[in-house]
DNA sequence: CATGAATGAGGTTTCATTCAT
DNA sequence: GATGAATGAAACCTCATTCAT
């Protein structure tokens, strides 16, 4: 159903129609990202997408087949964008602590700069990653950041600045969570706490503290953080999932 | 269709009708929480709520007026439940460090035990807290946890186990974020990281690490977390908000 | 279904409950007149009636059985009020011309003072007098004005001030129509003519002219109004009904 | 379901689809006029319109957006029809009296021939011309009849057959009211007067009398219509508006 | 006499999608 | 390749009314 490119080897300048078509498709996709980010999957409206893309509802179906297809495409597009950004991050290879710091900043500002990414993720999680599961691009999506963190942790250990035994995935989830939550839940937090935790200034102050948290966590100088008894006691809390 | 009272022989004067009404309302509300948690606001269906509540769609409107009203009630109910739980938390008043640990565990297991709370929050944030804003109960909702944390921090400072200058709200947001993210984003994370970070065992391991993070962060033994140069360098990343 | 009075002969002071009941019924009826006048039959809402009557929707059904019953009662009440007014009109028995004038003024100001009457009539005509037909009070409703006009015309003829051969019903319809139309159609006329023909001042000027019309029409000095040819010609217009 | 074009052999290039669309729209509009005329705005039912138009309820919304939009279109259509008719009236330019007579006949038979027009007007007045106010076509709707009457009055004055000082709008309202009322209120009048004043024969007799009324009113031979005393006396009636 | 709770049926409107050039 | 017309199904919500004390 999608007009899959079947251009031959001869590199004649692309016919105008073709370029327009691609441009239309791109406009629709961009509009879809905005629409899904604003209204979620069920709340998104085809006609609003069409208007925003300066196209017609009919074209949306022409290019993407269905609402689900459009959402999948939108999701893939924001994931691809994230991965491109991740790949272009340059972490200081000689100073693991500085690299960690850079990593945190990258993740956190990416979230801050891409609210549509956060919203699409939330929506996709509401749907239990149904669309992602169907995505063919998924294979390529496995995040490069885990590899990056592993490398960084290994470097740091070797250099004696990081302690050993840190799980890169857990570290990644911690870092992401520290940055994600106050942006994702900005509106309810503002209501409940009576203060906008995602206002630019507040955010930067918060990031400084969060960075401190992460850095101390990985640092070599380990005082045993929790005495056994306390940990055991807290485990007695019901852990129903 | 409604379970008509089952009054015993003992002539308790409890007004039967009244009880049924309250029960019906409560069943609908509970069903609504489930439905909104599963499908978000726009995706929720009135008839599914009615069926689950063993009532009729009409009754939903009889008690809650509109879909928006129902959502607001559902949101209020999960917030109220959280606040009740928060109020009933007992933190060790003589051991601030232990108290902090208990606090983290409380928050994190509350999230783990109440996926519907997470989902409703996400949905409400998608709608920019529109329903919460209209809620009359909002006033009472201002979380008691900030007060609790403030107290705890003050106690810890006095006891010399916590360092000074920690903002209770920032601390709260950090703790919450650490626990929230891997539950809220469980499905996409599983896809992208290739591992279920919210599986019970993984979760407990993660919580131990996260607790370590928090504890170290508040601890008195301060090694300056970030040297100025590193911080400055990382600031050069674009921080567009 | 209506609580029909069955008071005995003994004239004990009416029990309070009874009086309240009558008062409630009266309030509901009054509220119904307003509601039906504002919104027509289909547009009228039981709950608005209840609120306006400071009663409950349930009471509306208790006293009037159905929406149709309520409308019928409302209609009867405005007709009864009109008839009471008609009966209390005093026309100068010695000066037919003056009496005619008084009659016109009475009709016209009654319409102007009772917009709810006009509206209910329009609504009832939309329904082809269905409710009026069912009304038991209809028998008493036959308007006394035709008799009054007949008398007046006879008096005037005898006195030589009125010409003969005037049909009282046609005269009544003419007078009513002259006053009714610009009130009934006030809003559309204002739009189409660009002037509020029912503003108080305009109305009084108009009534003076209308009165002149009526008076000249009945006056004895008859110049044959239309020459036969013209009348015949105008008859050629299609008179499809 | 739609009558698919019946193109003949002659290859007229008329776009088939287009024609169907227009035809469907027109059928719906016509059905709407009937439905609103019969049941008023609130009483009108979308499904009845759809059935009568041999279309679907969905199409009603496709073309007219909402019930209100459909009503507005219906109203505009009957107003446009009236205006077209008004524009095509030919009044004798050399005989003002005859022209006046023709005018009356035109207005009155138009009302008689278009009961749906009367009903829609009544409904629109119930709604205080809300729909008309929103109509873009309103600008063109300003009735040409006032101009026609002004011209006629001027001609008649010059010719000495009409007296001077007659307001064309008041005259128009009088004429319209004389014809409108007995049609608009036919059903209640029949009940109350015990005679069908809008039966064809009765109507024609009545129109002759009404024409006489109008003609005498404008005629040059002025006997002072009301002596001051009578007028003053009648003014004493309460004129509360 | 009075009333809070309940409701079946149906109203208007929207949604995602397909038809037919 | 692109598009205007069409639509079945179902969503949210309302209405007039009755139940059961």
Distance CA C198, CA C206 (A): 9
**Strand ranges (DSSP E) for chain B?**
none
Q: In which band, very low, low, confident or very high, does the pLDDT at B7 lie, cut at 50, 70 and 90?
A: very low
**Can you give the C-alpha Rg of chain B in angstroms?**
22
* Whether the predicted pLDDT of A232 surpasses 70: no
Predicted local confidence at residue B20, as pLDDT: 74
D162 phi, psi to nearest 5 deg: -105, 145
Q: In which band, very low, low, confident or very high, does the pLDDT at D227 lie, cut at 50, 70 and 90?
A: very low
* Whether the predicted pLDDT of B39 surpasses 80: yes
Q: In which band, very low, low, confident or very high, does the pLDDT at A139 lie, cut at 50, 70 and 90?
A: low
CA at C71, C1' at F17: how many angstroms apart?
16
Q: In which band, very low, low, confident or very high, does the pLDDT at A1 lie, cut at 50, 70 and 90?
A: very low
Predicted local confidence at residue B236, as pLDDT: 42
**Can you give the C-alpha Rg of chain D in angstroms?**
22
CA-based nearest residue in chain A for residue B99: A230
3-state secondary structure C160-227: CCECCCCCHHHHHHHHHHHHHHHHHCHHHHHHHHCCCCCCHHHHHHHHHHHHHHHHHHHECCCCCCCC
Q: In which band, very low, low, confident or very high, does the pLDDT at B139 lie, cut at 50, 70 and 90?
A: low
* Whether the predicted pLDDT of C234 surpasses 70: no
Q: Do C226 and D211 touch (CB under 8 A)?
A: yes
What would the two tokens of residue A59 be?
């074209």
Predicted local confidence at residue C144, as pLDDT: 86
Contact between residue A94 and residue B223 where contact means Cβ atoms under 8 Å apart = no
Supply the mean pLDDT for chain D: 85
Judged by C1' against the alpha carbon of D64, the nearest nucleotide is E13
Q: Is the CB of A62 under 7 A from strand F?
A: yes
Q: Is the CB of B66 under 7 A from strand F?
A: yes
CA-based nearest residue in chain B for residue A236: B105
- Which one has a higher pLDDT value, C190 or A14? C190
Predicted local confidence at residue C8, as pLDDT: 35
- Contacts of A221-227 with C-beta under 8 Å, sequence gap 24+, read A221/B223, A222/A163, A223/B216, A223/B219, A223/B221, A225/B211, A225/B212, A225/B215, A225/B216, A226/B101, A226/B208, A226/B211, A226/B212, A226/B215
* Whether the predicted pLDDT of D48 surpasses 90: yes
Phi-psi map region of D236: left, alpha, beta (phi>0 left; psi -120 to 50 alpha): alpha
Reported residue count of chain B is: 241
Predicted local confidence at residue D134, as pLDDT: 86
Q: In which band, very low, low, confident or very high, does the pLDDT at C18 lie, cut at 50, 70 and 90?
A: low
Residues 6+ apart with CB under 8 A from A55: A24, A27, A28
- Which one has a higher pLDDT value, A229 or B58? B58
CA at D61, C1' at E14: how many angstroms apart?
10
Domain A12-65, what architecture?
Orthogonal Bundle (1.10)
Predicted local confidence at residue D31, as pLDDT: 96
DSSP A118-157: HHHHHHHHHTTTHHHHH-TTHHHHS-THHHHHHHHHHHHH
Q: Spell out a b/e string for D44-67, using b for 16 or more CB atoms within 10 Å of the CB, else e.
A: bebebbbeebebbbebbeebbeeb
* Terminal-to-terminal C-alpha distance of chain B: 55
A130 phi, psi to nearest 5 deg: -55, -45
Residue A92 is given by DSSP the state: -
- Counting residues of chain D whose pLDDT is more than 90, the rounded percentage is 74
Distance CA B118, CA B106 (A): 15
* Whether the predicted pLDDT of C216 surpasses 80: yes
Residues 6+ apart with CB under 8 A from C47: C57
* Whether the predicted pLDDT of C231 surpasses 50: no
Q: Do B209 and A234 touch (CB under 8 A)?
A: no
- Which pLDDT tens digit goes with each residue over D119-151? 999 999 999 999 998 887 776 667 889 999 999
Of A184, A193, A216, the CB nearest to B169: A193
The sign one gets for the Cα dihedral B183, B188, B191, B192 is negative
A91 phi, psi to nearest 5 deg: -100, 140
What is the pLDDT averaged over residues A149-178? 96
Distance from CA of B72 to the nearest CA of A (A): 13
Distance CA C137, CA C133 (A): 10
- Contacts of A92-95 with C-beta under 8 Å, sequence gap 24+, read A93/A155, A95/B230
Residues 6+ apart with CB under 8 A from A65: A1, A2
Predicted local confidence at residue D240, as pLDDT: 39
Supply the mean pLDDT for chain A: 86
Residues of B within 8 A of A200 (CB-CB) are: 239, 241
Predicted local confidence at residue A61, as pLDDT: 95
- Which one has a higher pLDDT value, B225 or B151? B151
The sign one gets for the Cα dihedral D175, D179, D180, D182 is positive
Predicted local confidence at residue D222, as pLDDT: 52
Predicted local confidence at residue C220, as pLDDT: 77
**Can you give the C-alpha Rg of chain A in angstroms?**
22
Distance CA C29, CA C64 (A): 9
Predicted local confidence at residue B240, as pLDDT: 39
* Whether the predicted pLDDT of B37 surpasses 80: yes
> CATH classification of A74-235 is 1.25.40.10, yes or no?
no
Q: Do B239 and A184 touch (CB under 8 A)?
A: no
What would the two tokens of residue A128 be?
């239990």
Q: In which band, very low, low, confident or very high, does the pLDDT at C9 lie, cut at 50, 70 and 90?
A: very low
Nucleotides of F strand lying within 7 Å of any protein CB atom: 1-19, 21
Predicted local confidence at residue C21, as pLDDT: 78
- Which pLDDT tens digit goes with each residue over D70-81? 999 999 999 999
Alpha-carbon distance values, A127 to A124, B177, D98, D230 (Å)? 5, 21, 79, 84
* Whether the predicted pLDDT of A106 surpasses 50: yes
Q: Do C240 and D112 touch (CB under 8 A)?
A: yes
Q: Spell out a b/e string for B69-90, using b for 16 or more CB atoms within 10 Å of the CB, else e.
A: ebbbbbbbbbbeebbebbeebe
* Whether the predicted pLDDT of A224 surpasses 80: no
What would the two tokens of residue A62 be?
């022409």
Residues 6+ apart with CB under 8 A from A85: A106, A110
- Which one has a higher pLDDT value, B241 or A41? A41
- Which one has a higher pLDDT value, B40 or A139? B40
- Which pLDDT tens digit goes with each residue over D75-112? 999 999 999 999 999 999 999 999 999 999 999 999 99
Poorest-pLDDT segment among B70-74, C46-50, C192-196, D13-17: D13-17
**Helices and strands in chain D: count of H runs, count of E runs:** 13, 0
What is the pLDDT averaged over residues B86-107? 95
Predicted local confidence at residue A135, as pLDDT: 84
Q: What is the pTM of this model?
A: 0.85
Predicted local confidence at residue B3, as pLDDT: 34
Distance CA A44, CA A120 (A): 12
Predicted local confidence at residue B22, as pLDDT: 86
- Which one has a higher pLDDT value, B139 or C148? C148
Residues 6+ apart with CB under 8 A from A66: none
CA at B130, C1' at E14: how many angstroms apart?
22
Q: Spell out a b/e string for B179-216, using b for 16 or more CB atoms within 10 Å of the CB, else e.
A: bbbbbbbbbbbbbbbeeebbeeebbeebbbbbbbbbbb
What is the pLDDT averaged over residues C184-208? 95
Alpha-carbon distance values, B45 to B39, B198, C167 (Å)? 8, 28, 66
Predicted local confidence at residue A64, as pLDDT: 96
B60 phi, psi to nearest 5 deg: -55, -45
Span(s) in chain B for CATH 1.10.10.60: 12-65
Predicted local confidence at residue D238, as pLDDT: 44
Nucleotides of E strand lying within 7 Å of any protein CB atom: 1-19, 21
* DSSP 3-state of B50: helix
CA-based nearest residue in chain B for residue A44: B42
CA at B215, C1' at E19: how many angstroms apart?
65
Distance CA A93, CA A154 (A): 11
Q: Do C129 and D182 touch (CB under 8 A)?
A: no
Residues of C within 8 A of D189 (CB-CB) are: 173
| Contacting subunits of A (3+ beta carbon pairs below 8 A) | B
- Which pLDDT tens digit goes with each residue over B169-220? 999 999 999 999 999 999 999 999 989 999 999 999 999 999 999 999 999 7
Residues 6+ apart with CB under 8 A from B152: B91, B96, B99, B100, B103
Residues of C within 8 A of D97 (CB-CB) are: 230
Poorest-pLDDT segment among A8-12, D133-137, D176-180, D203-207: A8-12
Predicted local confidence at residue B181, as pLDDT: 98
Q: Do C169 and D122 touch (CB under 8 A)?
A: no
Q: Do A235 and B204 touch (CB under 8 A)?
A: yes
Q: In which band, very low, low, confident or very high, does the pLDDT at C105 lie, cut at 50, 70 and 90?
A: very high
Distance CA D168, CA D163 (A): 12
Q: In which band, very low, low, confident or very high, does the pLDDT at A140 lie, cut at 50, 70 and 90?
A: low
């Amino acid at each position: 159903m999608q007009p899959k490119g079947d251009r031959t080897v001869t590199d004649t300048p692309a016919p105008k129609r073709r370029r327009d078509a691609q441009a239309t498709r791109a406009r629709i996709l961009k509009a879809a990202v905005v629409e899904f980010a604003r209204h979620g999957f069920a709340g998104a409206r085809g006609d609003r997408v069409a208007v925003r893309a300066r196209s017609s509802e009919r074209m949306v179906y022409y290019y993407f087949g269905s609402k689900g297809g459009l959402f999948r495409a939108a999701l893939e597009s924001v994931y691809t964008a994230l991965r491109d950004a991740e790949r272009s991050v340059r972490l200081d290879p000689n100073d693991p602590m500085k690299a960690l710091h850079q990593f945190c900043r990258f993740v956190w500002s990416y979230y801050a700069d891409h609210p549509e990414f956060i919203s699409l993720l939330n929506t996709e999680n509401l749907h239990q990653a149904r669309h992602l599961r169907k995505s063919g691009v998924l294979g390529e999506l496995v995040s490069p950041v885990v590899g990056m963190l592993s490398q960084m942790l290994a470097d740091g250990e070797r250099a004696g600045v990081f302690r050993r035994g840190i799980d890169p995935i857990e570290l990644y989830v911690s870092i992401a969570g520290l940055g994600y939550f106050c942006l994702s839940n900005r509106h309810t937090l503002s209501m409940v706490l009576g203060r906008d935790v995602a206002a630019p200034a507040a955010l930067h102050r918060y990031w400084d503290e969060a960075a401190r948290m992460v850095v101390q966590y990985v640092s070599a100088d380990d005082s045993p953080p929790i005495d056994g008894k306390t940990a055991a006691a807290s485990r007695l809390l019901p852990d129903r999932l």
